[in-house]
Amino acid sequence: MVIVVMSVMYVLITGGDRGIGRATAIRFGRKGYNICFTYYSRVKEAEELAGLLESMGVKAFFTRMDVGSPESVSEGLKFFSSRIPYLNVLVNNAGIISVNRFDDITIDEWNSIIRVNLTGVYLVTKAFLPLLRKAGRASIVNVASLAGQTGNAVASVAYCASKAGVIGFTRRLAVELGPKGIRVNAVAPSFVETDMVREFINTEEKRERVKSLHSLHDIARPEDIANAIYFLANEDSRFITGEVLSVNGGRLTC
């Protein structure tokens, strides 16, 4: 296998406009990567992030994409492939959460969670794999969750199932793509200080309860997850594939 070393590096981050995705874009931008990212509804935040990245001296390309829609992913591929020659790193970050109990989950809610969190990872990876192959050596990092490893006292069965699926997807795809020079890993965060999570820990009492679930008695920042993603994506982890890196502050139970 011939490994081509590229002087210009490109990363694509789905759901890059906020939270973990935004922190990840900034982390890669500071390392000189040109950033491609998608957003779903927050165009203002996407524009602000692109401006910040370009102020760092890197290129930023972004477009709206519904990761669970084959048509939307196809349009996203057309947009990015007309602007970049290859892709070094793909970060499948876009996702949604659900907290309903099993008795209250409708089939529509179930399908929505699986469509975005699991089918979205499949669709985006499938579409952008040719660009990753063009890099000669590349990396995929999927954002899973502790909920997919152990279950979760807050997240719904649908969310836990979707993230468990991401872990299975990661491990199997690593077997298939390893001989092609493409590594596939995942990060599994616990609670992270994002807009999505703040909706569910919106009082000081709830925050303290969540902190107490972690041996570090804290809640992760998006930057903590971004650092783990960057590690798994770059050559410092060149012999790691098919792994799930837990970033959970010592939170090993529900």
So which residues are the catalytic ones? 159
Longest dimension (CA), the chain: 56
pTM above 0.75, yes or no: yes
Q: What is the pLDDT of residues 127-159, one digit of tens each?
A: 999 999 999 999 999 999 998 988 766 788 999
pLDDT in tens, 180-239: 999 999 999 987 777 766 666 667 776 667 766 777 767 778 999 999 999 999 999 999
Q: With contact defined as beta carbons under 8 Å apart, do 162 and 117 qualify?
A: yes
**Mean pLDDT taken over the chain:** 91
What domains are defined for the chain?
10-192+223-247 (3.40.50.720)
pLDDT (tens digit, 9 = 90+) per residue, 162-186? Answer: 999 999 999 999 999 999 999 999 9
Q: Over pLDDT 70: what percentage of the chain?
A: 90
